[in-house]
Amino acid sequence: MKTIWKVLIGIVITIVLCIIAFFTYIKLNPKIAVLCYHNVATAEEKANYPEENDWTITVDNFEEQLKYLQKHGYKTLTTDELYNWKHGKIDLPYKSVLITFDDGFLSNYHYAFPLLKKYNMNAVVFVVGEFIENLNTEEWTGNIKTYMTKNILDKVKEVYPNIEICSHSYMLHKDGAIEQEKVVLKQDINIFNERIQNTSIYAYPFGKYNENMINALKETEYKLAFRYGPTKKEYRKATRNDSDYEIPRLNVSHGMEVWKFGLRLLMPF
């Protein structure tokens, strides 16, 4: 009997020490999940584009995730808050996320932004300048390969002040495009700011970057740049020690069951 008690007390002490170690680790190593989405579509629309499966979440799944964030008291950040946190100017609750969308799909405007407004949440959309200036239709037809127009971006600014419009390059969203002289990369950055939106926040096209690209961003006074990958699946949370120009994101573009999504956000990495 005595031995059983000793074992039980040993187990309880071990569990308590593990819990203390976990919370100490979290306190000493604060991390923020930067979520990366791409397209949002109904299940029927998504089924029509199997080749886009990895980059499309269903509207229902997306709303479930937002409901989860709201129900569990998550704060949705602005890029200013992330920047100030990185630079030690503010602390943020463990339950904080930065919601981001890449590429500027029309589906974001049609499905995602109204839901974000409904749940009173902030988000960032990284748009590609030349995609915005293509002749896109503004009406939603169920074609998930269409992008927002300049006119729609104006509406976003008016109707959805909770959405930040940032740069995914003007015309570097193509294979090998960043393998150019720094002066060309800087031109691309400046054209985006002149023609699409004045910003200092960037997401690398396809997550690819190099020394020239980072220097081009620094010299054009950009202050944050986000990665994507290295895998198509999740990556990891951002820390204060990450370079401002190499911020990792958690890729949730393909959708994720809500229990797994919740569990993933709780993980300290």
Least separation in angstroms between residue 259's CB and Zn ion is 28
Give the range of 96-104, 177-185, 218-226, 261-269 binding Zn ion by CB under 5 A.
96-104
Query: In the 8-state DSSP scheme, what is residue 98?
Result: E
Question: Is the distance from CB of 205 to CB of 229 less than 8 angstroms?
Answer: no
Helices (H) and strands (E) in the chain, counts: 11, 11
Is 45 among the residues that bind Zn ion (CB under 5 A)? no
Least gap, CB of 31 to Zn ion (angstroms): 24
Q: Which of 45, 63, 81, 102 binds Zn ion (CB under 5 A)?
A: 102
103 binding Zn ion? (CB under 5 A):
yes
CB proximity list for 170: less than 8 A, separation 6 or greater: 128, 129, 130, 188, 189, 191, 192, 195, 196
Between the alpha carbon of residue 93 and those of residues 85, 87, 209, 239, the distances in Å are 10, 15, 30, 13
Rule CB under 5 A: is residue 130 a binding residue for Zn ion?
A: no
Ramachandran angles phi, psi of 107, nearest 5°: -60, -30
Binding mask 56-95 for Zn ion (x = CB under 5 A): ----------------------------------------
Region near Zn ion per CB under 5 A, out of 68-76, 102-110, 230-238, 259-267: 102-110
The C-alpha atoms of residue 59 and residue 77 are separated, in whole angstroms, by 21
Using the contact rule CB under 5 A, the part of the chain among 99-107, 113-121, 176-184, 230-238 near Zn ion is 99-107
Query: What residues line the site for Zn ion (CB under 5 A)?
Result: 102-103
